[in-house]
Chains A and B, each alone.
Chain A
Amino acid sequence: MYSDAQISSRFAAMIAGIEAPVSPASDILLRASRPDSRPSRGGPPVAGMAAVAAAAAGIVLAATPLVAPGLVAPLAARIAELMQWTPPPSPPKSVNAAMVPRLVSLATARSLVTFRIVPPTGLPRDVVSEKIFATPIGVYSKITHAWTVGPPSLTFSYRRSNGREFQFSAEKYDPHAGAPPKYLFDADETGPNGLPKRHEHFAWRNGDQSMSATEDDDLATAEIEAVRAAMHGTPLRRATSRAELHSGVIVKQYRIP
């Protein structure tokens, strides 16, 4: 029979043995300075989302054509300022013009990409339709300081029976892109403090394919986890420090259909 002292001793050993990640002190101070900083679990329809990976600061900048660039840019700049990150210059018109979503079949998608496509499986039961879009990615090199048009990313877009939509994105796994962010910031939905709300972001690998999804009102965390599990995807470790977030040598810009 264990005594109270023995149980206390084992608790002390157990808790001391847990390795803590690096303290996100600047994130904590930032949140503490805002009136309501509880992580948001709600969000707008994905189609209206201008997701700016501010915490990622340099990993992903995503904008939808439904949102005027002028709206996204100040928010992105503000987030970048808060995160002490210098964003890359805006892509030239030629790159922007190339980033046009194209509705494709799965067979066509396979002919457009160089990775083996593993489509999402284990989807919510109320999915009534699926569309696939191929959209070239804008890629900024931190080494050459130049924008180029990258290979297309694929967007698997699903409509639910209630009319809401959600999306999964797939692209070739790229070790140079750095660790994916844990949160995306929604520039379409700001809190009373004027800052974009954040949504948890998930990414996983199947072979040379990297797939990602972001939780919001239309796609719950459990549903994303169910898809990843059904695909037998290997979760990508998400960045836990600013240094890790900035470690990539390229910055990608996506256009969500």
Chain B
Amino acid sequence: MPIRLEGDLIRTAQVEGGAALERVISLVWPEAYRISASILRDRGLAEDAAQDACVAIVRALPASHDPRAFYGWSYRVIVNAAMSVARRRRTVEPLEALDDRRVLFDSDDSLDLADALSALPIAQRCAIVLHYYAGFTSREIAESTGLPRSTIRFHLMLARGRLRKALSSDRNHLRPTQKQEVYHDVL
């Protein structure tokens, strides 16, 4: 469920803080966690990224002049936080994380998509999530990530092709086995 903030909540949070700020966090947190988990595929890292994103949002909120821009801005913050966590902790996916996939993803369809997504480099994952989930254009993704628009378009083209191929092929086409170590490339 994309982030939806009621009425003047942003303005109230900016002026009064307190309970309104906590309300903003309570609405942003689940989305920040879900998006981070879909990109990072690790519950601990997803919590770290979601918390980093919420901290950044709380800190920058008072300076935000246009509450209408909150939606797009918050997604940029969330995805950038996930990328930062991935860069800070470039690791081999622990084997138990493969067992944890069932905890994160509630259906085979979701698991297939998650496996296809995890086969992509982090930057492509972020671009794909921003494009297909948050509805960002390549220009908006370029502004969010600081990468050239041509690079984003290239990422999207590659990622789109890989996703379609993966989703159209056998269910287990890209699913890692227990014996594999899955390396996540960071751009």
Contact = CB atoms under 8 A, between A and B. Distances in A.
A2 B168 contact: yes
B98 interface: no
Nearest to B104: A18
B101 to A, nearest CB: 11
Q: For chain A, what secondary structure do more than half of its interface residues adopt (helix, strand, loop), or is it mixed?
A: helix
Contacts of B88: 41
Contacts, number: 105
Contact of A15 (B22, B29, B35): B35
B59 interface: yes
B113 A10 contact: yes
A2 B51 contact: no
Interface stretch (B89-97, B143-151, B171-179): B89-97
Given A17-B110, A25-B22, A225 B94 contact: yes
Given A10-B113, A18-B33, A18-B38, A28 B55 contact: yes
Interface string A212-229: 000000000110010001
Interface of A: 1-2, 4, 7-8, 10-21, 23-25, 27-29, 31-32, 37-39, 41, 182, 221-222, 225, 229, 235, 240
Interface of B: 1, 21-22, 25-26, 29-31, 33-35, 37-38, 43-44, 47-48, 50-52, 54-55, 58-59, 88-89, 91-92, 94-96, 104-107, 109-110, 113-114, 128-129, 132-133, 135, 160, 163-164, 167-168
Give 4 nearest A-B pairs by CB, closest first.
A23-B29, A20-B30, A17-B106, A14-B110
